[in-house]
Structure 1
Amino acid sequence: MKIDAVGLFVNDMERMVAFYRDVVGLKTNWNGDADAAFEAGGCRLIMYGRRDFENMTAQTYGYPKGRNGTMEIAFALPSYGAVDAEYERLVSLGAEAVFPPATMPWGQRTGYVADPEGNLLEIGSFGG
């Protein structure tokens, strides 16, 4: 098997689509439906409204509130400098600053921001 997509179940589709399209810069052709798909390199990022998903599956789910340490979406950049620039760009456009870029002992430069619903985004590079 190969991972085709990573999905987020969201409260506010319009706000989250706008963030990932306009701030992060992922391409989508979302037209207001209950789900959205974004091109993210070799994988897709998909979103589905929480209420719509619960209605579809006839289930009720528990969701984290606030900043969410359940998972992360990791973005790879070509260089350490690109990590610093992208972190600053995302924060200046409204992403929540979580952890400023730092070079880790294993050689990766990484920083974290959060999207409007608290999901963590890692911005990292192994290239100096």
Structure 2
Amino acid sequence: MKIEHIGLWVNDLERMKQFYETYFKARSNSLYKNEKTGFSSYFLTFSTGSRLEIMHKEEIPANASIQTGYAHLALSVGTRTEVDRLTEQLTANGYPLVSPTRVTGDGYYESVIADPEGNLIELTTD
């Protein structure tokens, strides 16, 4: 069994697509849009084949972000050097650093940054 993809509701579909393409080399499919429902999405594919579906709907209930669920997205970027480099690049470009690079209690080398909409991304080694 494998996780086929993870879905993430976003406010600004194009900005979020550009963010993941720029910093994580994701490749996007064509925009899917359902005019009847106001739903649109992109599937972003990473080099390992993992996929993230970023989704937008014209009318998301006001309390949609107040729910149990998504805590963070962990992306393995390879080496400690790459975690350091990407953390520095993202913070230099204005993305908030939530947790600086460190070795966690369970042995991961990681940092945590926030994407353009405040979703947490854990940058980690393999």
Q: TM-score, normalised by structure 2?
A: 0.77
Count of aligned pairs:
117
> Is 2:14 aligned against 1:14?
yes
Long gaps (5+) in structure 1: 55-59
Match of 2:74 in 1: 74
> What is the root-mean-square deviation in Å for CA atoms of aligned residues?
2.4
The 8 Å contact of residues 95 and 115 in structure 2, kept in 1 or not, is answered as yes
Q: What displacement does 1:85 show?
A: 1.1
> Is 2:54 aligned against 1:47?
yes
% identity of equivalent residues: 30
Q: Which amino acid aligns with 2:84?
A: D
Q: TM-score, normalised by structure 1?
A: 0.76
The structure that is helix-richer by fraction is 1
For the residue of structure 2 that corresponds to 1:20, the secondary structure is: helix
Residues 72-128 of structure 1, C-alpha deviations (whole Å, 9 max, x = no match) = 1111132222211111122223322111101123221110001111110000125xx
The 8 Å contact of residues 31 and 41 in structure 2, kept in 1 or not, is answered as no
